[in-house]
Every structure is written in C-alpha cells, then in structure tokens.
Amino acid sequence: MADRVSGPPLTRVGIVGLGLVGGSIALALRSVQPDIHIIGVDDAQVMEAALRRATIDEARDSAMALADVDLIVLAAPVGAILEIVEQLGRAGVSAVVTDVGSTKRRVLEAAQRSHLENFIGGHPMAGSERAGLDAASGDLFRGKTWFVVPGHEAAPDAAALVDRFVRLLGAVPVTIAPDAHDRNAAYLSHLPQLLAVWLIVTSGDAVGEGGLKYAGRGFDEMTRLAASSSAVWQSIIATNADYITEALHELVTIVPQVLGVDAARLRDVFARANQWRDRLEEERGRPR
C-alpha cells in the first residue's frame, strides 16, 4: 500500500489526542509503513497504554514539543484544536499541521490569525459508536471520504503531504472550501444531532419511563445520536452556530402551523421526502 501512495516523505508524525480517531490514525499508518516514528500526546494514562501496545513509539507532554516531526495531526475536539493551533502559530512552528475537527472555518481562521502557515484542515467522514483508544482500528478510514480544507496561504508542499497522509490511511481525500464544508455539516450532521437530542428529551419528559418502554424501532433510530457527549458537541455547535441556525430556520419554514388540516401540503412534503430518501439510498448503494 505504502509504495502505491506517492508524495513527500512522512517518517515522523506527531498525533495530539489518542482517542478513536487519533488511535486509528496511528494504527493505520503503522500497518502501511511499519518503520514510521509516531509520537503521541495525550493524558499520561492513555500514553502509557499506547506505548505498551506500540501504537506509538514515543510520548510527549505537549503539542508544542513536536517541532521535529514532518506532520502534526490534531485529533482532538474542535475547542482544543483551536487552542493548540493558536499556540503552534504564535510559537512559529513550521512543521505541516493538520486536524480532524468537525468544523473548519474557525480552525482555519485561528491558523491564519496566529500565522500558522503550513496548516491544512481535515475532517474524516468516519466514526464509531465507541470512543477512545480501545475502540481504535487501522481500518476505520478505509474507503471513507476525508475532507481536506487548505488554508489561504498553505504551501503546495504542505497540501501534498496531507494528501499523501490521507491516502496512506486508505481514505479518499476530497478538497472542499471551509464555508461549503461547514454549511453541509450543519444540514447533514449537526441539525440531525440536535433533533435527536431534542426529540428524546421532549418525548422522555412527556411520556416517562412507563411510556418510553413501548417505543419502537423508529424512535430508537431517531434518538441513537442522543447518546453523544456534550463535551464533543459543545465546540462543534459553538463554531458552526450560524449555519446550524440557518438550517433550523429552514426546517421551521416547512413545519405547518396547523397539522392535519392541509392534506395537499402534507402529501407534497411527504413526496419530496420520499424523493430525497430515494436519492440517498441510490447514493449509498454506490461505491464512493
């Protein structure tokens, strides 16, 4: 696999955050390039486990201690990424830096503001019900879309290195502008997440445990995302509030004031929903 992916050399990589995504990046890199030197940054306990399993070769206590690597990967929630990007930029770090944060505009703005020149944003479309290093897998990104969002002034070399990195993981790089990325994410990920949370709180409070036990498969699916942690979502929502608010307003415009009265309108919205669902199923049937 490694031979088939050309590009600038990638021999020393620093990964900040060894959770599901950071851990899976380490495992995937190791499997295609066994001699790679991986330096991890996380809590002492996580690093100890990662060293013991040889997921990483070396542990350091801060992203600021990674100046000697080819690529720094920030695999943390968006809020932490923002802080680290500012620190690296102010410290004049010249290594190529990328991230896996769920929103991209604020992260790129932080890179520009702090003069972190070789920053290329990223966002893998891969996840799992499970979190943490224990859930990490070298196959997590195989065949999955990995959005690449170059900074305004990033050098072509930096973009080429991140492109190689993504391909080494088995993912498919798709370049997108930060605005388009964040707007799509608001409609396809953030609004659904909030609807799941609001639905289960509304319905749980209304029917109680006695009612909830009769919920069927539809309710189960519509609320699975409600198990997500606010620790991750707080910074996603805070950094994309404008587009999520737009999406919410768009949704509200198709909610009728009085339900059940206007049969033609209901038929119309179901017909449109059926059509979009058909398209989605067609898309999902296709290889990416």
Pick out residues in 123-162 that bind a second copy (CB under 8 A): 125, 127, 145, 147
In the bound state with a second copy, the residue whose beta carbon lies nearer, of 1 and 188, is 188
Segment (H or E) for 27: helix 20-32
What is the longest distance spanned by two Cα atoms in the chain? 67
Q: How far is the CB of 209 from a second copy (least distance, A)?
A: 6
Q: How far is the CB of 29 from a second copy (least distance, A)?
A: 23
Interaction between residue 172 and a second copy (CB under 8 A): no
Q: How far is the CB of 237 from a second copy (least distance, A)?
A: 5
Give the other-Cβ count within 10 Å of 255's Cβ.
8
Between the alpha carbon of residue 128 and those of residues 136, 140, 186, 234, the distances in Å are: 9, 8, 20, 19
Q: Which range touches a second copy (CB under 8 A), out of 15-23, 32-40, 107-115, 184-192?
A: 184-192
Residues 6+ apart with CB under 8 A from 187: 243, 247
Residues 9 and 2: their CA atoms lie apart, in Å, by 11
Contacts with a second copy by CB under 8 A: the residue count is 87
Q: How far is the CB of 175 from a second copy (least distance, A)?
A: 13
Q: Which range touches a second copy (CB under 8 A), out of 51-59, 111-119, 149-157, 183-191?
A: 183-191
In the bound state with a second copy, the residue whose beta carbon lies nearer, of 45 and 230, is 230
The residues in 44-73 that bind a second copy, with binding defined as CB under 8 A, are none
Residue in 61, 68, 157, 221 binding a second copy, rule: CB under 8 A: 221
Residues 223 and 226: their CA atoms lie apart, in Å, by 5
Residue in 3, 255, 285, 287 binding a second copy, rule: CB under 8 A: 255
Question: Is the CB of residue 222 less than 8 Å from the CB of residue 199?
Answer: yes
Residue 124: closest CA among 63, 161, 173, 67: 173
